[in-house]
Structure 1
Amino acid sequence: MKFPADFSWRALFLGLGGAAVIAASSTYVALRLGALPWPTIFVAVVSMACLRPFGASLREINVAHTGMSAGGLVAGGVAFTLPGLWMADPEATLSAAQALGAASTGALLGAFFTAVVRCSFIEEQQLPYPMGAAAAETLLAGDSGGRKARVLFGSLGFSGVITALRDGVGVIPALVGNPATLGFWLSPMALGIGYIIGPLFMGSWLAGGVLAHGLFLPLGFRFGLFSSEEAALLMKNSLGIGLIVGAGVATLLRGMVRLGHRGRGLSLSGWKWSALTVAGGCALLTAVMGLSLPLSLLVVFGVWLCVIMAATLTGQTGIDPMEVFGILLVLFVRWVFPLGRGEAYLLAAVVAVATGLAGDALQDFKAGHVLGTNPFSQWLNEVGGGMVGAFVAVGALFIMKDAYGAMGPGTQLVAPQAFAVKSVVEGLFHGGFFLGGAITGMLLALLGIPAMTLGIGVYLPLFISTTAGIGGGVRLLVDKTGKRTDGNETLIASGFLGGEGLVGVLIALLKVVTGG
């Protein structure tokens, strides 16, 4: 059998193995921090370090990292939605098979619909896809001496050791200061995320935390707005969730306008592929999730629309609000068909995984377009990495649940996106503050203000935001002084993120095995 150009078995196996590692790490990061930066540059450097010594071309390396990065966004789709069911009802029945069915169905739908729209968004509209373009530049810069790999793996090891000493051995405290006022989470991961997302988004994140905990809560208690601490947290969290959802809706609206002005979402030459994907998606949803055929057809077309929107938004801004897509589709479907609680969360997961994988795939296709990589070779690895990511992410999710128990506000697994999904699906939020936050989030986002990260800051504990804010402050200083060292700062931040994520999952697994 003749394989397409740039495809190799070593690129495939490296991509699958890397997807598993990235999926496990990303599940932990999403549950602990509620943020999931694109892994594209991280996996590009790892692939280059592993394959370049064996004479691999940049195109083969690109194929390998395409499979690797798929695991991260599939994990995000799982962690941003399914934990909401346990938050709503800790005794709710959710089997690993059901979760895997939703994750794998979403991964396949995302991969196949991405194949339909790739030509339009990458070649015809030529959207920027900033992370994909940066990954291509990283590979073109080359690293024959292995310096970038040493920087990356050194920071990954340092972060892993700190995490082990903090969470495994208990030698290092998790918090310094007063978590209710001014405290700091001793987390390399939070520092790394703050650096990666940059001063603008990190500034709005930190501003949300300061406004919520330094102004909203104190004034509310002072003027008797809250009847109890629980009521105060409910109103604060409802406000933050409203900001997140409102900003997501505004982003979608802006994307629709741009999509209407910039051209078609797919090429007419792909109609047979499109019909096959729709038919296959309906069959999957009917067979795997037990949905009726009309409901499956509605969901598949809804996923298709969401994938087109995700492709547009990711291409223009580098932002992919996958959990918001899940929320909106579930709300829409509920207007037409009755949905059980479990079905609602599973459908949200299908949409979130599909849109996350689509955004990731198109970032990698952008890099491949710059490098001249065979798209079909990339797509094969994307499918493989997405399916591996589905298995590993579901496994990591159940491991984290068994190890830490409860998820949501006030726990070690805050999972803000999943809490937002739960709050909307269950209707368990303060309607006035949610609506006010949603309207404010929409208006701010339409004005170009990053309201989504503002909402995350309102929702998360302040001690997490302060630590991430330090990372954003370091990025600001680096940008202002111009003292960059060939992008090594971003690699260090990526290593901080990956090291804590990997060791965090291993510690959780050890807790499950030992019963500790």
Structure 2
Amino acid sequence: MSDARTVPIRQQLSWRAIVLGVVLSVVLSAANAYLGLFAGLTVSASIPAAVLSLGILRFFADANVLENNIVQTAASAGESIAAGVIFTLPALVMLGYWTDFPYFQTVLIAGVGGLLGVIMTVPLRRALVDDSALAFPEGQATAAVLKAGYGETAAVGIGTLLAGAGLGAVAKLGASGLRLWQGTAEAAVSIGQNSSFYIGSYLSPALLAVGYIVGINIALPILIGGLFAWWVAIPAVMAFGGADLPSGVAGAQQVWSEQIRYLGVGAMLVGGLAALWTLRGQLFGAFKQTSSTVLPSEKDLPRALLIGLLVALAIPMSVLYSVLLDSVVGGVLVAFAMLGAAFLFSAVAAYMAGLVGSSNNPVSGVTIATILITALGLYLLFGAEQAGPASALIVGAVVCCAAAIGGDNMQDLKAGAILGASPAAQQIAQILGVIAAVCVLSPILSLLLNAYGMGVSDAAHPHALPAPQASLMVAVVRGVFQGGLPWAWVIGGGVLALATLALDAVLARRGGSFRMPVLAVALGLYLPLSLSVAIALGGLVAWLGGNRTAPEGRGLLAAAGIITGEALMGIFIALPVAFSGNSDVLALDIGGLPLIWPGALLMLGLGVWLWRLARETGSDVSTHS
């Protein structure tokens, strides 16, 4: 295996590695932007990017494994920055502060957040990667894929990835473009005169694949949260106070939208704060260790460069906050608060990535805590009208992007440490990946907004992307600045989160692999049940296939391909829809309502395929060292 001392940085950061990494960063950021707005979840792009890199660079005789590592490092930055953006910036549109996603403001906010994530985690590298027992599971998996080399292994892997992408794209075109079948199967069972029990599932291969990747230990708690909301809380509200509500599916969805989803808000708030409290000792220890360690300039980016970048990023944000608050002093104070929160939450995300991986990192939970604290502070200092929710959301967006990149950065640095890569080369690749992704996210988000809508569906956009995290951010800031937040449900969600934390502690003491992560349960409380069911089916497929913890081998690559194919097709379909202003522009007239069974059969077929791949032994592409 090559070592950084024998492979110069210029050979790691080759032009072909940079170009391929930047291109994949753009593609994967677009795919994850769609997926996050649709499902409220994103998945790590490191392993798919590593396989694609191996498949492409294998045609160059002098390519080395550290070039492939640079490609996946830059590419995964695009996925991570997309998560930070779609969790927060759509909230500015939902509030009416933006009508679309203005290019330069989007680039500024997302770019500052992403670059802060790179900068803030540099001083933590030794403590969390080199001198720590943290597993960084996806970093180890990525390194194992890259160690496999360029032979038949890479060809098999990229073939599986592309096959999944093709199937995902065809499924999305048939359901959302041509409208050959319904995208959701749902029904409600009436109990008594008013109460209804809702059941349904999106017929989305991407959601099936998401559940397969995150595994049963995440998918099942999401489903449990959803079942409590839709089978306990909603029927109770309809039974005791639903005389004026419509019956069936419409009534259940109305109660969820107006009341029950705020259980998720409270649970997310408590879960995010609990994550911070749990990690307090480890973080303080990391800071103490870092302060006494001089990082060698030949391994990390020079400190002088990082300080210069920090100042350069803080100045435009201070100006932006000063304009929003109509106060120079206030703008500077908010900018300092933003920098402090970005450092703290980047460290939290980095540590959590070491524990549970990037895909399961509770970035949205800590972002909600940031927005709530910032909103309360701005309200007390500047009042509701002067500050407004926009300032709090922009602080939250910067922090969310920083935290997303922070966790991803450490995961990539772990892979590099195993392979013998130069951290400085990887940090440069991260910066390039962030810049490339933020330059294209604004038009992509505007396209999706005009084609599908975001948040609540209406007559103009009957198939709006749910954007669950962004909707939750809107609920929080509106509740602080305008009132009207149903605090009883928020408090109830907090109580449920405390009960979940207690149950998780019991499960931890008993041992075993199954746990009850509070943020997964909170997400289930907040998501439509149809999303949770589809994700849970994917987790069940992985479990039945023998993957009790994390997916392995070609099944992981097939699932990643399905997600990417469906997401990219969703963006492709959005082009004619946005330009024509007609959501049915591609729909075929097949007579009558679209059927359910073709989509259900497709889900069944893909589930069987993933199950068979999960059962493979001696997989051609290993994802664990």
Match of 1:245 in 2: 269
3-state SS of paired residue (2:279):
helix
CA contact (8 A) 1:299 1:333 kept: no
Percent identity reads: 28
Q: How does 1:412-491 map to 2 (within 5 A)?
A: 412-427=464-479, 428-445=484-501, 447-448=504-505, 449-479=516-546, 487-491=553-557
3-state SS of paired residue (2:185):
strand
Distance in 2 (alpha carbons) for counterparts of 1:304 and 1:294: 16
CA contact (8 A) 1:163 1:503 kept: yes
Distance in 2 (alpha carbons) for counterparts of 1:177 and 1:286: 48
Distance in 1 (alpha carbons) for counterparts of 2:243 and 2:141: 47
Change (3 A) 1:329 1:265: farther
With 336-345 and 471-480 compared, the bigger mean Cα shift is at: 336-345
Measure how far apart 1:303 and its partner are: 1.1
CA contact (8 A) 1:66 1:381 kept: yes
Change (3 A) 1:381 1:191: same
Change (3 A) 1:441 1:394: farther
Match of 2:294 in 1: 269
Q: Does 1:358 align with 2:406?
A: yes
Match of 1:109 in 2: 116
Letter in 1 for 2:34: Y
Q: Does 1:304 align with 2:343?
A: yes
Letter in 2 for 1:206: L
Which of residues 117, 128, 132 is equivalent to 1:121?
128
Match of 1:330 in 2: 371
3-state SS of paired residue (1:479):
coil
Question: RMSD over aligned Cα, in angstroms?
Answer: 2.5
Match of 1:142 in 2: 149
3-state SS of paired residue (1:35):
coil
Match of 1:98 in 2: 105
- Structure holding more helix per residue: 1
Match of 2:621 in 1: none
Change (3 A) 1:480 1:11: closer
Measure how far apart 1:105 and its partner are: 1.0
Q: How does 1:167-186 map to 2 (within 5 A)?
A: 167-178=176-187, 181-186=198-203
Letter in 2 for 1:501: A
Q: Does 1:76 align with 2:132?
A: no
With 36-45 and 139-148 compared, the bigger mean Cα shift is at: 139-148
With 346-355 and 24-33 compared, the bigger mean Cα shift is at: 346-355
Measure how far apart 1:225 and its partner are: 7.1
Distance in 1 (alpha carbons) for counterparts of 2:572 and 2:320: 30
Distance in 2 (alpha carbons) for counterparts of 1:138 and 1:282: 38
Q: How does 1:144-223 map to 2 (within 5 A)?
A: 144-145=151-152, 146-178=155-187, 181-223=198-240
Q: Does 1:26 align with 2:26?
A: no
3-state SS of paired residue (1:119):
helix
Which of residues 302, 318, 322 is equivalent to 1:286?
318
Q: Does 1:89 align with 2:96?
A: yes
Which structure 1 segments of 5+ residues have no match?
A: none
Measure how far apart 1:29 and its partner are: 0.3
Measure how far apart 1:100 and its partner are: 1.9
CA contact (8 A) 1:249 1:442 kept: no
Letter in 1 for 2:39: L
Match of 2:248 in 1: none
With 369-378 and 111-120 compared, the bigger mean Cα shift is at: 111-120
Match of 1:60 in 2: 67
CA contact (8 A) 1:11 1:61 kept: yes
3-state SS of paired residue (1:170):
coil
Q: TM-score, normalised by structure 1?
A: 0.92
Match of 1:505 in 2: 571
Distance in 2 (alpha carbons) for counterparts of 1:375 and 1:61: 14
Letter in 2 for 1:434: V
Q: Does 1:295 align with 2:334?
A: yes
Deviations 1:60-106 (A, max 9, x none): 10011100010011011110011122223387576332222101111
Distance in 2 (alpha carbons) for counterparts of 1:244 and 1:513: 37
Letter in 2 for 1:430: P
Deviations 1:169-222 (A, max 9, x none): 111321234277332321110000010010111011111222211222112212
Letter in 1 for 2:35: V
Measure how far apart 1:397 and its partner are: 1.3
Letter in 1 for 2:393: Y
Match of 1:39 in 2: 45
Question: Which structure: larger Rg?
Answer: 2
Measure how far apart 1:126 and its partner are: 4.5
Deviations 1:473-494 (A, max 9, x none): 1111112699x9x611111111
Match of 2:613 in 1: none
Letter in 2 for 1:296: A
Measure how far apart 1:148 and its partner are: 0.8
CA contact (8 A) 1:244 1:453 kept: no
Change (3 A) 1:408 1:4: farther
Distance in 2 (alpha carbons) for counterparts of 1:182 and 1:342: 36
Change (3 A) 1:177 1:204: same
Letter in 2 for 1:356: A
Which of residues 15, 25, 30 is equivalent to 2:21?
15
Change (3 A) 1:141 1:216: same
Change (3 A) 1:344 1:409: farther
Distance in 2 (alpha carbons) for counterparts of 1:77 and 1:320: 12
Match of 2:509 in 1: none
CA contact (8 A) 1:120 1:264 kept: no
Q: TM-score, normalised by structure 2?
A: 0.77
Measure how far apart 1:288 and its partner are: 5.5
Distance in 2 (alpha carbons) for counterparts of 1:311 and 1:125: 12
Distance in 1 (alpha carbons) for counterparts of 2:244 and 2:307: 55
With 294-303 and 162-171 compared, the bigger mean Cα shift is at: 294-303
